[in-house]
């Protein structure tokens, strides 16, 4: 008997252990309130079974009545020990115990059984009684089906999705709900890409849209003003000035008093750009002998100062500007000093060199593009500044390199930390200088040598050794041959290259274009503007096949391209043919394409628009001077490319009012429309634009002689319209 009891105890312990590992199914029980048990209700429990006998409650985020409870199981009674028989007594009969009933099999509770208050009618698929769903069950409807609530997604998932789309798409998505609006505007990396641009608006606290920004609750770190006249008072700068980090004024009319009142509130400003603000310096006269403080304050956080295109500021203005910002790291004086006398130009250039010398341990970026009096002596002055380590340098060097001790070669042997080098239109740059740049600056990330006409194959011999090079511009370098590009620039190894500009190079062959596509398969921007003799239908097929990450394609004035290149249909020779397998490609294979420029490809017809141009996320499309386009192609284009924001149909003689109606009704996000020199567009088409284009900002209708003269008045209901170019 003892052996049997020991065996039963072991079996019971094994069952308890299995229940702990694999708990039995649960059922839903409604508990009105949680109260402590009275002492008489308590039952003795063993220490081993305490875990699985206690009730386990799973609470949700919101308090609810229905909770999950583990069903308690009855405690098995121990078997009664039989009395030993009396000696000499009669034998007792063994009474067999009644068979134990098997416990009922518990089944798992379904979603339908979890809500007993609803009477379900599965024949019709609708509940008989409508019951209000708890808040925590909002994604479920009364039919038990799941309806996605994208506004309830975790913020981390929303940000991951928003990082994959463009800025315009993200701003459009931010208008759907408050949660998406918060994700699209207040995330740090997105804020760094947001600029608030005021273009040709009236300045003042009581004018639209400026008054909404003055009364706004958010802060605006980056502001751009274009052709704005600052002639009224505004409290905007006092309210939001401490949070402004970047300010750009382009061709604005602003006086000395107003400029000082604005700058006084921008103590945390890091970047200041004054472009073509001649009115500010014309009336701001400072005499030589006076010690007038131009700024009665200091901007200690200012790192970048740009005075690009300002011709009327003198050395006294410049001296007070740099005194106001003692921690400058970047200076831009491009297109300056053009209207000054020769002596004044030399004086201004000397002040710039003194600024660079004073901040030599901080200075990282210098821009001297189109600045007069930049010669070999200027290069030597930069070389004599000890401790200067630039990372970004931009200059247009037009003087011929001297034969004895050239300063440009000495400069690049010293500045070995350059990552961004722009020598566009440097006529004096020769092969020797280019070789020194390649060998001395191995960290180059961006190299722009557009219109450097003296460069030949000898200068770019080792360019393929620049492992960090990601942006290359060799446009208009006609002396660099097809062999030089193929052998010295492209090379034979796969490399990372994000942007490549090859415009106005008519000496490229099909084999070179093929090696470019195969080697640089991660290209995002490809510029082949005006390479008419090089870009053919086969070139377009190579681009479509290999460049899957391409976002910007420019083939303007490539007149050899036909419909076969874009669609892959009726090609005289298949792009790829292996044994009996032949394959061609359509341009809609480029899913990441955002900008496509095919202006001047006059062989393009409606066939390409109907069967190839299927881009759901294309933002900008240029079709100007494509004379064979008509309504049949536009009808398919506006359906297959609904996200277009920029459309250029200039000099397309078959574009009429019906085409304008299709464009206005289907392209809801269109902001720029160019219809210049379209003779068939009349007043009817203008009415369609006024009725449907609610987001239009710029309209080009030059040469449309059937339009009335009062175009701006007829489009007054478009609140977003900024400019109409009609003459």
pLDDT at 410 over 90: yes
pLDDT value, residue 15:
66
Query: Tens of pLDDT along 577-598?
Result: 666 677 889 999 999 999 999 9
Please say whether the beta carbons of 540 and 566 come within 8 A. Answer: yes
Residue range 366-395: mean pLDDT, rounded: 91
302 confidence band (pLDDT: 50, 70, 90): very high
Residue range 168-182: mean pLDDT, rounded: 88
The overall longest dimension of the chain from CA atoms, in Å, is 144
Residue range 228-246: mean pLDDT, rounded: 91
In the chain, the N- to C-terminal Cα span, in Å, equals 114
The total number of residues written for the chain in this structure: 727
Query: Tens of pLDDT along 85-96?
Result: 555 545 445 455
pTM: 0.78
Residue range 30-54: mean pLDDT, rounded: 45
Q: What residues does CATH 3.80.10 cover in the chain?
A: 197-373
Q: What residues does CATH 1.20.1280 cover in the chain?
A: 134-194
Question: Which stretches within 63-209 are classed as H helix?
Answer: 155-162, 167-173, 178-186, 188-191
Question: CA angle, 432 as apex, 426 and 436 as ends, to 5°?
Answer: 95
646 confidence band (pLDDT: 50, 70, 90): very high
Please give the distance of CA 152 from its chain centroid, rounded to a whole number: 24
- Per cent of the chain over pLDDT 90 is 50
CATH topology of domain 197-373: 3.80.10
pLDDT value, residue 217:
79
Question: Which stretches within 456-530 are classed as H helix?
Answer: 482-484, 510-519
pLDDT value, residue 67:
40
Residue range 262-272: mean pLDDT, rounded: 93
pLDDT at 4 over 80: no
- The CATH number corresponding to 134-194 among 1.10.3470, 2.60.120, 1.20.1280, 1.10.10 equals 1.20.1280
320 confidence band (pLDDT: 50, 70, 90): confident
Residue range 279-299: mean pLDDT, rounded: 71
DSSP 302-319: --EEE-TT--S--HHHHH
Four-CA torsion 88, 89, 91, 94, nearest 10 degrees: -130
Cα separation of 420 and 687, whole Å? 49
Residue range 210-238: mean pLDDT, rounded: 88
pLDDT at 59 over 70: no
Q: What is the DSSP letter of 675?
A: -
- Per cent of the chain over pLDDT 70 is 78
Report for 6-10, 296-300, 336-340, 484-488: range of highest mean pLDDT: 484-488
Q: What is the DSSP letter of 457?
A: G
Q: What is the mean pLDDT of the chain?
A: 82
Q: How many CB atoms lie within 10 A of CB 114?
A: 13
Query: Tens of pLDDT along 452-507?
Result: 999 999 999 989 999 999 999 999 999 999 999 999 999 878 889 999 999 999 88
Report for 176-180, 206-210, 221-225, 312-316: range of highest mean pLDDT: 221-225
478 exposed, middle or buried (CB, 10 Å; 0-12, 13-18, 19+)? middle
373 confidence band (pLDDT: 50, 70, 90): confident
Residue range 646-674: mean pLDDT, rounded: 95
Cis bond before residue 87 (omega within 30° of 0):
no
Closest CA to 591 of 622, 554, 551: 551
């Amino acid at each position: 008997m003892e052996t049997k009891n020991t065996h039963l105890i072991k079996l019971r312990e094994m069952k308890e252990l299995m229940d702990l590992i694999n708990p039995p199914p649960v059922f839903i029980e409604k508990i009105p309130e949680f109260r402590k048990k009275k002492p008489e209700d308590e039952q003795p429990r063993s220490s081993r079974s305490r875990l699985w006998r206690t009730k386990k409650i799973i609470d949700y985020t919101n308090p609810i009545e229905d909770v999950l409870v583990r069903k308690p199981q009855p405690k098995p009674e121990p078997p009664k020990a039989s009395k030993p028989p009396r000696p000499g007594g009669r034998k007792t009969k063994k009474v067999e115990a009644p068979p134990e009933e098997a416990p009922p099999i518990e089944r798992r509770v379904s979603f339908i059984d979890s809500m007993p208050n609803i009477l379900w009618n599965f024949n019709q698929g609708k509940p008989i009684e409508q019951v209000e769903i708890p808040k925590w069950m909002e994604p479920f409807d009364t039919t038990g089906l799941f309806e996605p609530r994208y506004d309830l997604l975790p913020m981390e998932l929303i940000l991951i999705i928003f990082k994959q789309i463009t800025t315009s798409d993200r701003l459009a998505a931010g208008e759907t709900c408050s949660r998406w609006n918060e994700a699209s505007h207040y995330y740090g990396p997105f804020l760094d890409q947001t600029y608030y641009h005021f273009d040709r608006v009236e300045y003042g606290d009581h004018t639209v849209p400026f008054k909404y920004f003055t009364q706004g609750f958010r802060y605006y770190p980056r502001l751009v003003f274009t052709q704005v006249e600052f002639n009224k008072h505004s409290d905007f700068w006092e309210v939001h000035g401490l949070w402004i980090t970047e300010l750009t004024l382009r061709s604005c009319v602003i006086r000395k008093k107003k400029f000082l009142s604005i700058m006084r509130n921008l103590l945390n400003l890091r970047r200041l750009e004054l472009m073509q603000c001649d009115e500010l310096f014309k009336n701001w006269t400072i005499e030589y002998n006076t010690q007038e403080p131009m700024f009665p304050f200091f901007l200690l956080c200012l790192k970048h100062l740009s005075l690009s295109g300002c011709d009327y500021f003198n050395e006294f203005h410049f001296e007070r500007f740099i005194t106001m910002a003692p921690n400058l790291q970047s200076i831009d004086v491009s297109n300056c000093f053009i209207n000054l006398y020769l002596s004044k130009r030399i004086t201004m250039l000397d002040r710039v060199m003194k600024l660079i010398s004073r901040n030599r341990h901080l200075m990282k970026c210098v821009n001297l593009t189109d600045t007069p009096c930049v010669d070999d002596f200027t290069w030597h002055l930069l070389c004599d500044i000890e401790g200067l380590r630039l990372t970004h340098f931009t200059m247009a060097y037009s003087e011929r390199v001297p034969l004895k001790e050239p300063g440009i070669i000495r400069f690049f042997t010293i500045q070995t930390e350059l990552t961004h080098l722009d020598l566009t239109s440097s006529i004096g740059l020769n092969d020797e200088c280019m070789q020194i740049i390649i060998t001395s600056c191995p960290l180059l990330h961006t190299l722009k040598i557009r219109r450097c006409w003296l460069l030949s194959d000898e200068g770019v011999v080792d360019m393929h050794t620049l492992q960090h090079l990601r942006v290359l511009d060799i446009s208009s370098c006609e002396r660099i041959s097809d062999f030089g590009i193929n052998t010295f620039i492209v090379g034979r190894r796969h490399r990372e290259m994000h942007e490549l500009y090859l415009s106005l190079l008519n000496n490229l062959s099909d084999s070179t274009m093929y090696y470019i596509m195969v080697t640089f398969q991660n290209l995002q921007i490809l510029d082949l503007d005006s390479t008419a003799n090089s870009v053919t239908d086969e070139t377009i097929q190579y681009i479509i096949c290999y460049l899957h990450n391409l976002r910007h394609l420019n083939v303007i004035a490539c007149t050899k391209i036909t419909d076969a290149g874009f669609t892959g249909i009726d090609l005289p020779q298949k792009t790829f043919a292996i044994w009996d397998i032949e394959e061609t490609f359509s341009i809609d294979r480029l899913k990441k394409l955002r900008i496509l420029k095919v202006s001047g490809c006059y062989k393009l017809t409606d066939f390409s628009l109907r069967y190839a141009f299927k881009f759901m996320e294309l933002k900008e499309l240029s079709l100007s001077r494509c004379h064979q386009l008509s309504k049949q192609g536009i009808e398919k284009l506006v359906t297959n490319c609904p996200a277009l924001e920029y459309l250029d149909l200039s000099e397309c003689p078959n574009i009429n009012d019906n085409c304008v109606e299709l464009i206005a009704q289907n392209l809801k996000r269109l902001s720029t429309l160019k219809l210049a020199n379209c003779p068939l567009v009349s007043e009817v088409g203008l009415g369609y634009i006024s009725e449907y284009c609610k987001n239009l900002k710029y309209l080009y209708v030059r040469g449309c002689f059937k339009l009335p003269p009062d175009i701006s008045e007829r489009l007054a209901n478009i609140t977003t319209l900024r400019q109409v170019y009609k003459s």
